Amino acid sequence: MDQVIIQTYNRRGKFKFELLQLEIFKILMYELKLCSIRTKKGEFFLEEDLTGYRIVPFYYLKERFIWYIKKNFSSLNLPKEITLEILLNKIYSTKPITKSYARNFFEHNVQLSEEDYIISDISLKFK
């Protein structure tokens, strides 16, 4: 998790940090098993389950990331200046999880093909 932030100090020595979208999306994909697929029916955001993938709304990506932060905050290797409240405020104010970044990231990192799945309104099941 320490790769998710860049820490700096301003000219007056005040601590600042920025969130790195790439690292956040790596957590979404590798830790939380979230991805997306483009099909003839449209674009779907997905969460991996035992039988394939469950279709989830886009806002679910942010909700899952926030759940991950809350659940793992005490074990994250973050500077002491960053409290859970400060980190959550940064996530809410900077909106590091965007649809355009999600499209680009998953398009280049996920190898799902609609030919391998049966697509329903709520899920993608392996054929």
Our measurement of the distance from residue 74's CA atom to the centroid of its chain's CA atoms, rounded to an integer in Å, reads 19
By the 10 Å C-beta count (0-12 exposed, 13-18 middle, 19+ buried), 62 is classed as middle
pLDDT digits (tens, 9 = 90+) for 53-91: 899 999 999 999 999 999 999 988 888 889 999 999 999
pLDDT tens, residue by residue, 88-110: 999 999 999 999 999 999 999 98
pTM of the model: 0.86
Q: Where are the domains of the chain?
A: 2-126
